[in-house]
C-alpha cells in the first residue's frame, strides 16, 4: 500500500528511471478525524520539460474517525480511501528546478473498519442505536503543487503539497430505519522525498 502512495515526478536531468523514498504527513480538515504519517516509495520517469501535460496519481490514505460524547471522544474506526486519479497540469523547469501544478480528479474505493467502540461512537453521532454501518465509494478531486530540485545528475529531492477533496456517504442501519450522512474525508498532505537515478 505504501508503494501505491507515491506520486510520479519529472525533473532530474537526463534520467529515465529514478527511485527513492518519501515521508508523508497528512492533516484532515475534519476536527474529529486524526491524520496519519508514513514512509513509502517514490519514483519518477523521464525529466522535466516546460508545458502542459497529462498527470496521474494514487495517493491512498486513511483517517481515524471519532465522535465527541460530552468531554470524551469515542473512536469510531478507520476510514480507508483509495483514489485513482487523472488530470492535467503545467510544468515549468529551469536550471535543475522544476515546478509543477496539477489538478486531478477520479474515483475512490472506500471502506470503514470499526473500532471496538465504533458502535457506541455511531450511536452518539445519530442519537439512536446503530446496528450496521457501511460507506460508499466516492468521487475525489486533488489540486497539487510539486517542486523538484536536482542536487546532482543522479540525485533529486522533491516536495509535494496537495489537498484531497473526498466526501463519501456513510449509511447507518438503526431500529428506526436507514440513515445516511456525508463524511468529510478532505485531507491536506505534504510529501518530502528523494530519488536516485538508476538508468
What's the pTM?
0.82
Q: Is the predicted pLDDT of residue 9 greater than 60, yes or no?
A: no
Residue 139 cell numbers, joined: 468521487
Contact call for residues 135 and 171 (beta carbons, < 8 A): yes
Residue 2 pLDDT > 70, yes or no?
no
Residue 183: C-alpha distances to residues 10, 35, 110, 112, 127 (Å): 34, 15, 11, 11, 17
Summarised one tens digit per residue, pLDDT across range 13-50 is 455 789 999 999 999 988 778 878 889 888 887 666 78
Residue 88 near residue 52 (C-beta atoms within 8 A): yes
Say which residue, 14 or 98, is predicted with more confidence: 98
Residue 1 binned pLDDT confidence (cut-offs 50, 70, 90): very low
- What is the end-to-end Cα distance of the chain in Å, rounded? 25
Determine contact, residues 188/66, Cβ cutoff 8 Å: no
Provide the pLDDT for residue 7.
47
172 — pLDDT class (breaks 50, 70, 90): very high
Q: Are 103 and 129 in contact (CB under 8 A)?
A: no
Above 60 in pLDDT, residue 104? Answer: yes
Q: By mean pLDDT, which of 13-22, 139-148, 155-164 is the weakest? A: 13-22
The structural domains of the chain, ordered by start, are: 3-197 (2.40.160.20)
Within 8 A by CB and 6+ apart from 27, the residues are 35, 187, 188, 189
Average pLDDT of the chain to the nearest whole number: 87
* pLDDT of amino acid 8: 46
Q: Confidence class of residue 69 from pLDDT cuts 50, 70 and 90?
A: confident
- State residue 47's pLDDT score: 64
Read off the pLDDT band of 11 (50, 70, 90): very low
pLDDT score recorded for residue 15: 57
The mean per-residue pLDDT over the stretch 153-171 comes to 94
In this prediction, residue 30 carries a pLDDT of 82
The DSSP secondary-structure symbol of 120 reads H
Q: Please say if the pLDDT value at position 177 is more than 60.
A: yes
Hey, which residues does 26 pair with through a beta bridge?
Answer: 189
Amino acid at each position: 500500500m505504501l508503494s501505491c502512495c507515491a506520486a510520479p515526478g519529472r525533473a532530474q536531468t537526463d534520467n529515465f528511471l529514478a527511485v527513492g523514498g518519501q515521508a508523508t504527513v497528512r492533516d484532515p480538515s475534519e476536527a474529529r478525524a486524526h491524520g496519519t504519517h508514513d514512509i513509502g516509495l517514490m519514483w519518477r520517469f523521464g525529466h522535466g520539460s516546460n508545458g502542459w501535460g497529462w498527470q496521474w496519481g494514487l495517493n491512498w490514505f486513511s483517517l481515524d474517525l471519532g465522535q465527541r460524547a460530552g468531554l470524551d471522544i469515542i473512536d469510531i474506526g478507520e476510514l480507508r480511501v483509495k483514489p485513482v486519479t487523472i488530470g492535467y497540469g503545467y510544468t515549468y523547469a529551469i536550471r535543475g528546478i522544476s515546478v509543477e501544478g496539477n489538478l486531478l480528479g477520479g474515483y475512490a474505493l472506500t471502506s470503514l473498519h470499526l473500532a471496538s467502540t465504533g458502535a457506541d461512537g455511531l450511536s452518539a453521532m445519530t442519537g439512536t442505536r446503530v446496528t450496521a454501518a457501511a460507506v460508499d465509494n466516492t468521487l475525489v478531486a486533488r489540486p497539487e503543487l510539486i517542486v523538484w530540485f536536482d542536487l546532482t545528475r543522479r540525485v533529486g529531492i522533491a516536495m509535494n503539497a496537495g489537498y484531497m477533496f473526498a466526501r463519501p456517504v456513510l449509511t447507518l442501519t438503526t431500529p428506526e430505519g436507514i440513515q445516511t450522512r456525508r463524511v468529510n474525508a478532505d485531507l491536506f498532505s505534504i510529501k518530502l522525498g528523494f530519488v536516485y537515478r538508476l538508468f
